[in-house]
Structures are given as C-alpha cells and as structure tokens.
Structure 1
Amino acid sequence: MALPQDQPLYYCSTYPRSLPQLRPDLSFDRQSAILVSASKWVNGTVLHYHFLADEADHGDQMDVVRAAFQEWKDLGIGLSFTEVTQASESEVRIGFQAGDGSWSYVGRDVLGIGATERTMNFGWDLTTPYGHTTARHEIGHTLGMPHEHQNPNAGITWDEEAVYEFLGGPPNNWPRETTFHNVLRKLDPRQVEGGTWDPDSIMEYQFPGGLILAPEAYRGGITPPGTLSADDQAYMRYWYPPLDGDDLPELVPFQSAPLSLTPGQQADFAFHPDASREYSVGTFGSADSVLVVFEEVDGELRFLAGDDDSGEDRNALVKVKLVAGRSYVVRTRLYYAWASGQTAVMAW
C-alpha cells in the first residue's frame, strides 16, 4: 500500500534471529532444512496474544491488530490465535510505544523473551491503510517470515550510501547497523526457500526511487500492494496446512508409532495417560525433528513441553508430568532425515 507522496515512510525493524549453531560437517541440505524450519511453529499451535496497553487509550489500534490476526487465520491455516488478558498466559505480547518503531521477533524466537516483555511493538498509527499493512507485516514475522527484500534471490543491487542516508534521516533515524540488518544484509541462502523473489509480499518494504541500482525495473522504487500476496498465502498454507480434525490416532504407552514423513511434514497423536506420573515422550530414527506436547485446557490446546533435536546426534525427548483422565496431543514435525526417512514416536 503506497503512502501519499507527502508522507514519510516508516519501516519495521526486526531483532537479530536466534539461530542454532550447526556443525560445519552437516550437509547444505540438512543445514538448510533446519534453518528454514527453525522459525516455524508446530502446526496446530494456538498462539495466545496479549496487549500490554490500556484498551481506553489504544482500542482502535488493538482492533486493527485483531483484524490482522483474523486475516491470517482466514487463509485456512492450522494455527489459531487467541487473545488473553494476562501477559503470563501469552506467547505474543504487543505494545504501542511511540518512538520505538514497529517491530517483531521472528517465529519461535518469541519463546525466549521474558514473560512481561514485548515481542511486538507498533510505533505509529495503525488505523490508516499503511497501518493495516504494518499489522499484517509484523504478524507475518511472528509466523516465521523474514523480510522479502533481503532474499538473496531478489538480485537487488543497492546504492548503499543512498540507503544509509535515507534511513539515517527522519522519520526512522536508523544507525547504520540497523539499516544494514534490516535492508542491505542478504539472508543466508540456507535460510531461504525456493528460488524466486516476491515483490508483492506483505514482507516487502516500500522503497522510493533512487535507492536500487538493479534490477532496472525497480530503479524507480518498489511499491507492494500491502496485502497478503498469492505467494504469502501459499507459503503459509504449506507450513500450516488445515488440520484434519480432532480424530487423531492414539499414542499408546510403550508402543512405538512408526512415521513416514517427508521434510516439513508433521504427525499428530492423541494421548490419554493411564496413570499420573512423569512420562517420557520421544522420537526415534536418523532425523532432525521438533516434538511438542500440548494439554487440552477448557477445550483449547496449551503448550506443555517441547524439544528440538535439529543438528544434534540425538532424538527429541521431553519428560513431563501428565495426569490420568486429562487429554494431551503430541505433535512432531520432521526437518530432515538422512537415512531411510522412517522414524517413530513413543511415550513410556
């Protein structure tokens, strides 16, 4: 969504990603599968969001964010979004601190942020068309999407000093390191899926003319529509496909459940413990995977425990106290398998 020419361009600033440290002897394909997946949520996750602000002061802004969450959900994805009144009950905490810009941590990085700290902020008015775009964009980061103009496949050649000068001035007033991190720095090819660049993505900045030297078609600037592009929608549906319903296969204690998954695929199981005790839930096989145990609370799944074994010579394993008579769901997503692709999950 293009801003009127007499209005300044405000830009989102993300925090540096928390990426796993991978051994250099791992294959490129294995490293790429891990790094691309590291920001993604297990499908079926309910993300709880909380506003660190007063409804009386920011009600209109909150409504824009709520509508943006619903717009992502309306794609038919397997993630859900629930607003909660307590910060301690949320994974996503949203502030409206003016002067601090608009930003979000990326994907599962929000889990490493203190329970009362912001994981997302909006520093300008969201009730304008550009503000609606900002809300969609920041939620895209929370779902695991990076900035599209940093895609190394975009082939963008910047007039770097012009970019530093433009973003170093008002209204953004960015230091050079912030400009480099959010604009000029190209993503590691291991972090990028596919071979194309989507200039219409909700994750693409709007740029005025005079900053891009190549491709020639964009020397006059980039003006994305500010909505979820067709590629954005396909990307989300790939990572978070619609769930098949609540009729999940049962995970039986001490019985291994074999899996035949391709990279990115996920298996889901219901688990009803027959005794209240500490259980071990783990994966088996030559594969990198993430494993999460959820508990059903008031009809909604809440995160209980999880483990990610990517890049390590071990399998995912969680040890957690489970209660007889309660309902749990176990979800495991495969990042990469370097043997037969045959893996398994078991609770004991």
Structure 2
Amino acid sequence: MPSITPKTSFQYQPTNLSVETATDSTQTLSRSRRNIGEPDRYWPQNTTIRIATYEYDTDDEYVLAVKEAASEWLPHINLKFEFVSGEEGDVRITQNIGNSDGGQSAIGTQALDVSPSAPTMSLPKDHTHPRFAYVVMHEFAHMLGAHHAHQHPDANIPWDMDKVYEGFNRIAGLDRSGVQANVLPLPRSSTYDFMDYDGDSVTHYAVSPYLTQGGWGQSETWSLSDGDIAWAKKAYPKTAPAIS
C-alpha cells in the first residue's frame, strides 16, 4: 500500500514512551463531556462517504475489523460509510509503514484536497491488537471533522514544554510545528466549534506524567465518550435536511 503524506492529524502509541506511566495517584482531569469540531470541514449532511481499501476486498478480516470499529460512530450521525476495494474513494485507507500502532487522518473534507493517488488515512497493520479498534475510532473522528480533545484551550494540561518537544520528536518523529499542530492547545477561533472540554474523548491522547509538571497524567479511553457522542450528534444531526 502507498504511504500517507497529506497534512493530517496524528495519533501516537503512548506505550512507546520510555518514561513513567500514569498511576492511581496521578492528578486527573476535570472531566466534562464535549469535543472540538471544525464545521467548515464537515461532510455534507445525509451523504455517503466512500472509503477505499486499496487491494483489500471488503470482506477481508482486516477491513471487517475497520468496519466494526468505525461503525461505532454511525448510530450518532446522519452519514453512511460505503467501503469499496480499489483506489477510488472520498477516503482512502492505507496501513502504517513499520509496526506503528498509531494512525493519521485528514480532517473531514480535507481528504478531498489530497491527491487521488495518495491515501487520506493510515491505520496499524495488526487488526487483532487490542488497541486497534480505538485507533480506528480515533482516526474516524478526525475523518468526520473532529480535532484532538487534549488541544482544547480549556484543557489546561501543565505541559513541560522542553520534554514535550523532545519526547514527541523521539517517539513520534514530530518537529516543533508537528507538536504545535497535534499536541498543544488550538487557538480560540471561529474556525472551531469548541464544546466543553472532554477528558474522556476517544480523540484525547494519553498523557504521561513525564511530559507534564506536577505528575499530571491521563490514560486513553478506548470507547466513544458521552462528549464524543454529543459532538457527533451536533455535527451530523439525524434531523438535518439532506444537501442537494
């Protein structure tokens, strides 16, 4: 499969951090229940998104695993997903190079700006890994137009900036601009629909206490949160009229 090169939202494998992990004594987040969207990148209401899987047939075990996880979004939105073999689709899914358990995705209709010869989403190779479904849900959130919950301006994560830049460069290959785009708070702007901060969101990175001041940490949530669902229902309400 081709490698992914578009400007995308990045999701990493936190266990690659050779640092301490969060413990029960770690300071925890105030967990409100909302998310962040970019409305100008939302797909037209009540439409079907064609999702190409390159050489994989739609009944392949790998594709079925992607479908199962991605379908967690469907009860809460007015869109449909149509998986197709080949290279032609609104969204085109490839597999990560190497053994990375993270993923990447274009944000919403940004996928339409990507060259038709390039993928718009990258997922882990091992669909049997217990983290696989979580990564799929995370990347499909981006595909639907959601940004990272930890980038909410109200998250107030006490990042240790030197360690953040060094750590994400080491474990994920992100330069300073990549860290700013994927980790640090988004600017308060009408570009984004800021609902309340949601520490339980499937789009929230795990945060190692090593990367923060005062031992502050956060674990991943491997299912859609109430905030994820609230965002999805607002972005793609079942009662929205179809776009002709």
Normalised by the length of structure 2, the TM-score is: 0.76
Structure 1 stretches lacking a partner, 5+ long: 10-34, 244-265, 269-291, 293-329, 331-348
For 1:226 and 1:220, locate their aligned partners in 2 and report how far apart those are by CA, in whole Å. 20
Q: Equivalents in 2 of 1:97, 1:225: separation in Å? A: 22
How many aligned positions are there?
211
Q: Relative CO higher for 1 or 2, CA cutoff 8 Å, sep ≥ 6?
A: 2
The CA distance in 2 between the partners of 1:160 and 1:124, in whole Å, is: 32
Counterpart CA distance in 1 for 2:125 and 2:90 is 23
Structure-2 separation of matches of 1:267 and 1:225: 32
Counterpart in the other structure of 1:95: 94
Q: Counterparts in 2 of 1:258-337, with a 5 A limit? A: 266-268=240-242, 292=243, 330=244
Question: CA distance change for structure 1 residues 220 and 126 in 2, over 3 Å: closer, same or farther?
Answer: farther
Residue aligning to 2:193? 193
The question of whether the paired residues in 1 share the 8 Å contact of 2:55 and 2:85 is answered with: no
Amino acid across the alignment from 2:224: L
| 8 Å CA contact 1:60, 1:127 repeated in 2 | no
Secondary structure of the 1:163 match is: helix
Which has a greater percent of strand?
1
**Residue number in structure 1 paired with 2:161:** 160
What is the rounded CA distance, in whole Å, between the counterparts of 1:161 and 1:64 in structure 2? 38
Kindly provide the amino acid, as one letter, of the partner of residue 91 in structure 2: V
Q: Following TM superposition, by how much is the alpha carbon of 1:113 offset from its aligned partner in structure 2, in angstroms?
A: 1.5
Q: 126-135 vs 101-110, which deviates more?
A: 126-135
RMSD: 2.7
Q: Deviations over 1:241-294 (max 9, x none)?
A: 225xxxxxxxxxxxxxxxxxxxxxx544xxxxxxxxxxxxxxxxxxxxxxx5xx
Deviation at 1:192, TM superposition (A): 3.5
Contact persistence 1:158–1:211 (CA under 8 A)? yes
Aligned to 1:175: 175
* Identity within the alignment, %: 27
Larger radius of gyration: 1
- Counterpart Cα distance in 1 of 2:235 and 2:186: 23
Q: 1:81 to 1:36 in 2, by over 3 A?
A: same
d(CA) in 2 for partners of 1:160 and 1:53? 42
What is the correspondence of 1:1-348 to structure 2 with a 5 Å cutoff? 7-8=15-16, 36-54=38-56, 59-75=60-76, 77-88=77-88, 90-99=89-98, 102-170=103-171, 172-194=172-194, 196-213=196-213, 219-243=215-239, 266-268=240-242, 292=243, 330=244
Query: Which deviates more from structure 2 when the two are superposed, residues 137-146 or residues 95-104?
Result: 95-104
Q: Following TM superposition, by how much is the alpha carbon of 1:119 offset from its aligned partner in structure 2, in angstroms?
A: 0.6
CA contact (8 A) 2:150 2:185 kept: no
Which of the pair is proportionally richer in helix?
2
Segments of 5+ residues of structure 2 without an aligned counterpart are 1-12, 18-36
TM-score, with structure 1 as normaliser: 0.55
> How far, CA to CA, are the matches of 2:189 and 2:158 in structure 1?
17
